Amino acid sequence: MNHLRTVDVPEIMARAASALSAASGHAVKIDEMQPLSNDDRRNFVGRARAIDVDGRVRSILVKATRSQNYDPAAENALASGLVREWVATAYLAARAPGRGHGAALLAGDVSYGLLIFEDLGTDLSSLVDPLLKGTAAEAERALSLYAAALGRLHADTADCLASHHDTFQSIFGAGRPLQPSGRRVEKEADVVVGALGGAPPASELELLSALLRDPGPWQCLIHGDPCPDNALIVDGSMRLIDFEHAHPSHALLDGIYWQIGFPTCWCAGRIPPDVASRIAAVYRAEIAKAVPLARDDAAYRAEIACMAAIWLFACLSWRLEEALKGDSRWGIWSIRGRLLWYLQAVIDMTASADVLPGINATAQGWLSELQRRWPESLPLGIYPAFAASSR
């Protein structure tokens, strides 16, 4: 059943014009709306022209939720991706203006659930292009820009929990309780144990949950879905877009992405270890400006290994049931191959950092069992840009 509301483009244009007019203090007209999103997407996205009263024309992007459950007055309004993006982009505009974080938020309509952003440009390349079609040198340069953008985002928003909540309330109304961050990794582990057996130590699972509840110095605004197609190359730098999963949490949930294979992305793939180390150095140099602990090799390896384990349990609890019934292809790789790689990555990282020995042993058991069941499945592969040089 389709639970999406019908798109009314003229209404969206009218509301966008009204919101921009209110934000700018003078009349703004909207015309030439070009839908960019498919009919089955949870958000309508369109490109249009905004015409100021003095005749100045600029290109804008309009995003409107299609969820019939959108309720900006709800206590849990931050469960909405559009609300999360609104709060994150408004927060970044206030806390780190001019720092190149995404596209500038121009205006919005709270009651309808509509946002208006600057248009960064048409036909922009994303991180996908060099990873899938470029040379190794081009891919590494793009990854360096990407890592710098993530590190800059995290450094600019360190210790943001209270101020992020203040931004939320300033837009959507006061009186909202500050929701506890994090989730129970134990629940995700239970799903996997029910399917494969071999329970990890409860103390280690609790440690992971505790890191999500209280990341300590690593707490910042994370993007939450920093996939290659959410990273656009604009004028020689990288701009992260689509902040629908952004929230205060542990920085290295984002900072692990290229090491564990971009776990939420259709264009998943592995980076050679030597390249991954150089990219990590770029990221660490940026985040260390606000989080000095990032310079400590042992502390960094331990935190990265723990975040990898958290992603492992998230991905297994999300995908294991369907993978046990049969394999399917998601984007450029199979589901089974992705899960095999996540297990191997966590085994390697926890062993290298000498942390989570119980989870390490459990992951080894799970990996052996799945390799026995899936003898034809190949673990997630190296990105094409690096494949030739990795042979």
Query: How many of the other CB atoms lie within 10 Å of CB of 388?
Result: 10
Report the distance separating Cα 153 and Cα 147, nearest Å. Answer: 10
Identity at 3, one-letter amino acid code: H
Q: Across the 391 residues of the chain, what is the mean pLDDT of every consecutive 10-residue run? A: 81 96 94 90 94 94 94 93 97 94 95 96 95 97 98 97 96 89 91 96 97 96 97 94 96 97 96 97 98 97 98 96 96 97 98 98 98 97 87 54
- Quick one: which of 346, 361, 199 has its CA closest to 260? 346
Report the distance separating Cα 220 and Cα 202, nearest Å. Answer: 27
Identity at 127, one-letter amino acid code: L
DSSP assignment of 59-73 equals EEEEEEE-BTT--TT
* Whether 16 contacts 45, CB under 8 Å: no
- pTM of the predicted structure, to 2 decimals: 0.95
Report the distance separating Cα 288 and Cα 221, nearest Å. Answer: 15
Full set of structural domains in the chain with CATH: 9-118 (3.30.200.20), 128-390 (3.90.1200)
Report the distance separating Cα 299 and Cα 306, nearest Å. Answer: 11
Strands (E), the chain: 28-35, 43-52, 57-65, 105-109, 114-118, 219-222, 231-234, 237-240, 247-250, 329-330, 333-334
Predicted local distance difference test score (pLDDT) of residue 9: 94
Report the distance separating Cα 216 and Cα 351, nearest Å. Answer: 23
Predicted local distance difference test score (pLDDT) of residue 1: 44
What is the chain's Cα-based Rg?
22
Distance set, CA 154 to CA 106, 219, 255, 390 (Å)? 23, 8, 9, 31
Q: Which residues contact 96 (CB under 8 A, 6 or more apart)?
A: 156, 157
Predicted local distance difference test score (pLDDT) of residue 112: 96
